[in-house]
Structure 1
Amino acid sequence: MIVAFSISPSAADDTGGVSEAVARAVQVVRESGLPNETNAMFTNIEGEWDEVMAVVKRAVDVVAETSPRVGLVLKADIRPGHAGELTAKVERVEKALEQ
């Protein structure tokens, strides 16, 4: 499965930014060893249900250490029997664009 998620603390820094809290969440994802990528809006992670959800929970918990309230947006592509889709899906789109 692939999960795209975004974590947002309720409390921002003096400039209204949340990058430090988000960086701590992304660090949890990267240290998980699961395939992942981060863009301007979401972090994508790929793996089995239980391992992906455990990483998402740890990322939320890390942000909650410094914020009294945390928002989580999550979208999942659940496709049993498929792996490597984090990059394969994009490759198929790029190939279709070349035609």
Structure 2
Amino acid sequence: MASGRNGTIYIGVTSNLPVRAYQHRNGLVEGFTKKYGCKLLVWYEAHDTIEDARQRELRMKKWKRLWKLSEIERLNPNWTDLYETIA
């Protein structure tokens, strides 16, 4: 989730992306995404297990910001909100 192009980025994991993205978009989740206005789904990837997804999340949270921006732009160079493609 992001607040906008090159804005604040949030990385998380869920077993139900459409529901979780909806919650973030509508400010239903207290915490980081609500505080910083991270309402745009600009990147995601699927994993076979929640454990695999969690491991990837933990690795990515240690990345430098530039690496995260590069990963987003590799999939979504225009920072288009991808929510409609998964809902």
| Same fold flag (TM > 0.5) | no
TM-score range, shorter chain: 0.3 to 0.5
Rg larger in 1 or in 2? 1
TM score, norm. by length of structure 1: 0.32
